Structure formats: C-alpha cells, structure tokens
C-alpha cells in the first residue's frame, strides 16, 4: 500500500520545536489557594525588556463550581518573535507541552496570548 501522508511541517521548524521543548524550564513565581503563576524559559526566546523568561503561565483553579470543574490556563508570550504568524506551529506545540506539564490531563480552558498566534482551546478528558 502506498503511503499517502504528506509532511507539511518544515524539517527545520520540527527540529526547532523539539529543541525548545527539550530546553523548556519553569519557575513558580506565585501561588495562592486558587492560582499559580509560572515563568516559562525557552532556549531561543526571552523577554525583550528584561532578557528573562519568554513568557508566563497563569493557572487558575475553579474551586466554586462542582458540576464541571475546569482549570483556566492563560499563557502569555512576551518575546515578540513568537507573535509572528510563521511560528504558529511552534507556539502551539510549546503551549500544548506547557499544559501537559503544568496542568496534566485535567479539563482545561486555555487562552494563549502571542500576537497573531493567539488562540483559545479546550482540553477535555
């Protein structure tokens, strides 16, 4: 049988995604009973003002509604190069990995802020 799958992602971009995910580091900046804030460090990207973390993740736990419990997660990328449309696949892959590492597989409402690459998603078990 002939393989009809066509790879649409550039090989360099695929390698860059793997490199960024392998080198991703986190530091917890703040924690309250209902929220956490994490700084996200990526090997190739930094905050343009401080030279520090490329972005941050805010995880807010919905403790009041017991019918459907969602974790609200917001990722904000400060490095302006991550706002460019040609890096959408990188931003998506990194955001997906952040959710998997920090939130796990809980039901999550995700909001990613990255200029042209901003999007919303819902993760359900």
Dist CA 123 CA 121 (whole Å): 7
Domain positions in the chain: 11-123
- Label residue 43 exposed, middle or buried (CB < 10 Å: 0-12, 13-18, 19+): middle
pLDDT tens-digit map of 61-118: 866 655 566 789 999 999 999 999 999 999 999 999 999 999 987 889 999 999 999 9
| Global pTM value | 0.88
CATH number of 11-123: 3.40.630
CB 88 within 8 A of CB 51: no
User: Residue 25, by phi and psi: left (phi above 0), alpha (psi -120 to 50) or beta?
Assistant: beta
Which tens digits make up the pLDDT trace of 24-61? 999 998 888 888 999 999 999 999 999 999 999 999 98
What is the distance between the alpha carbons of residues 53 and 45, in angstroms, rounded to a whole number?
A: 8
């Amino acid at each position: 049988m002939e393989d009809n799958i066509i790879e649409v992602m550039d090989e360099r971009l695929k390698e860059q995604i793997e490199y960024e995910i392998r080198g991703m580091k986190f530091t917890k900046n703040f924690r309250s009973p209902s929220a956490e804030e994490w700084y996200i460090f990526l090997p190739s990207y930094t905050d343009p003002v401080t030279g520090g973390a490329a972005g941050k993740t805010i995880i807010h736990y919905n403790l009041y509604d017991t019918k459907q419990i969602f974790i609200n997660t917001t990722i904000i990328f400060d490095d302006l190069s991550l706002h460019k449309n040609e890096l959408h696949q990188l931003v998506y892959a990194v955001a997906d990995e952040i959710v998997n590492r920090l939130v796990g597989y809980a039901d999550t409402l995700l909001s990613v802020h990255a200029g042209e690459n901003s999007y919303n998603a819902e993760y359900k078990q």
